[in-house]
Amino acid sequence: MKKLLLGSAIIVGALTSISLTSCGSNEIIIYTAAEDERIEYLDKEIKAKFPQTPVVFQALGTGEMATRLQSEDIYTKCDIFYDLEITNAEIILNKNKDMFYDLSEYNFDIYEDSVKTYMSKKKYALNSKVYNGFLVNKEVLTAKGASIPTSYNDLLKSEYRGTQDNSGIIVMPNPKSSGTGYCLYNGIYSKFINSNLGETAGLKYFDDLNLNIKEFTTSGSAPVKSVDRGDAGIAAGMLWQCCTYANKNPKLQVVTFEEGMPFNLFTMGIVNTHETKAGVKEVFEYLFNDLNKAQNEYFNPDKIYKTQGAAKIEGYPTTINELQCNGVSDYQYKQNLLDKWKF
């Protein structure tokens, strides 16, 4: 079994403007699984828009955020949730269908038709669509005598394998703890199912891939950081984050496959009854109508809005072939698939 990295749920202590002490009743608490740079951007913009409103971001790992909301239920201190994976939102609503405030008063026509179907209940809105991508460290591959992969089958090549266990050069997030990891797992598995190759072949792919894996990480961002440091040769990560790191490090190159890239969806909303708390609806309306569109251009440029602007990330692909991913918002499908994961 590969080593599983710990510590994905990190309170953002580096953001000095964000209070992470015990929360007062007048503070607006936002639970989020967003990355540090996104939180810093959102926090800055919200403070500029509402200088008199105390807003606290609490950063949690993808799984921990869902677990926290589910366990705290109606007693949660969370007022607004942001970047909650869509299947996790469905798990929470399955336990308590009234956990989230009904957003029917908001204009969902701002969304692309292709994603509106995922929000039929209007108990949450989408804040992002995130494609997977791969980041390679060309220097590491050259030293290994390995080529840059151009397909999913390429990732199984023996040239990415080490001479002993845990010495492969590919790093991937663990699907059981990371939305990014689950996205890749489901996308590749769906590829086998949708091409009638079957479940056995889909699962065997990951048995074979495991031979080339150095680590399965709990954090979706950890593989990209590992490749950036030169600790690994190939990372599976979020496409926008792969591009951001490649723009800062000439040793790195972003790779997408012509076969298509899998995607995941993330949600935002208000915890039910918390809409009456001072400032909560105002902050959420700003997120819904304006701020989230802007942050998507900087961080998550994959289109969910009809009028979404162009990506502000240098080198971000203008066209991305999309893998048909099954059960994107089906939490029971996800649980069944995760039960089959053995690493």
**pLDDT tens profile 39-63:** 999 999 999 999 999 999 999 988 8
Total domains present in the chain: 2
Nearest C-alpha neighbor of 215 from the set 230, 203, 194, 232: 232
Cα distances (Å, whole numbers) of residue 12 to 27, 36, 68, 159, 336: 17, 7, 17, 38, 33
User: How does pLDDT run across 291-334, given as a tens digit for each residue?
Assistant: 999 999 999 899 999 998 888 999 999 889 999 999 999 999 99
**Residue 73 shares a structural domain with residue 183:** no
Percent of the chain with pLDDT over 90: 81
- Whether residue 24 has pLDDT greater than 70: no
Return the structure tokens found at 29. 């608490």
- Whether residue 179 has pLDDT greater than 90: no
Nearest C-alpha neighbor of 23 from the set 62, 64, 66, 80: 80
**Residue 140 shares a structural domain with residue 125:** no
Burial (Cβ within 10 Å: 0-12, 13-18, ≥19) of residue 337: buried
Residues 6+ apart with CB under 8 A from 283: 28, 46, 50, 53, 55, 80
> Could you tell me the pTM of the whole model?
0.86
CATH assignment of the domain containing 194: 3.40.190.10
**Residue 192 shares a structural domain with residue 246:** yes
**Residue 140 shares a structural domain with residue 235:** yes
**Residue 259 shares a structural domain with residue 271:** no
Q: In terms of residue numbers, what domain contains 119?
A: 4-129+266-298
Model confidence band, residue 165 (pLDDT cutoffs 50, 70, 90): low
Nearest C-alpha neighbor of 243 from the set 251, 233, 253: 253
Model confidence band, residue 130 (pLDDT cutoffs 50, 70, 90): very high
Return the structure tokens found at 185. 């797992």
Classify residue 246: in a domain, yes or no: yes
* Alpha carbons 236 and 246: distance in angstroms, whole number: 13
Q: Higher-confidence residue: 308 or 148?
A: 148
* Alpha carbons 141 and 319: distance in angstroms, whole number: 26
Classify residue 310: in a domain, yes or no: no
Nearest C-alpha neighbor of 6 from the set 216, 233, 227: 216
Q: Higher-confidence residue: 13 or 102?
A: 102
* Alpha carbons 188 and 323: distance in angstroms, whole number: 8
pLDDT at site 120: 81
**Residue 42 shares a structural domain with residue 116:** yes
Mean pLDDT of the chain: 90
**Residue 200 shares a structural domain with residue 324:** yes
**Residue 172 shares a structural domain with residue 228:** yes
Classify residue 303: in a domain, yes or no: no
Instruction: Let me know: does 135 contact 254? Beta carbons within 8 Å.
Output: yes
Model confidence band, residue 7 (pLDDT cutoffs 50, 70, 90): very low
**Residue 151 shares a structural domain with residue 177:** yes
- Whether residue 22 has pLDDT greater than 90: no
pLDDT at site 23: 47
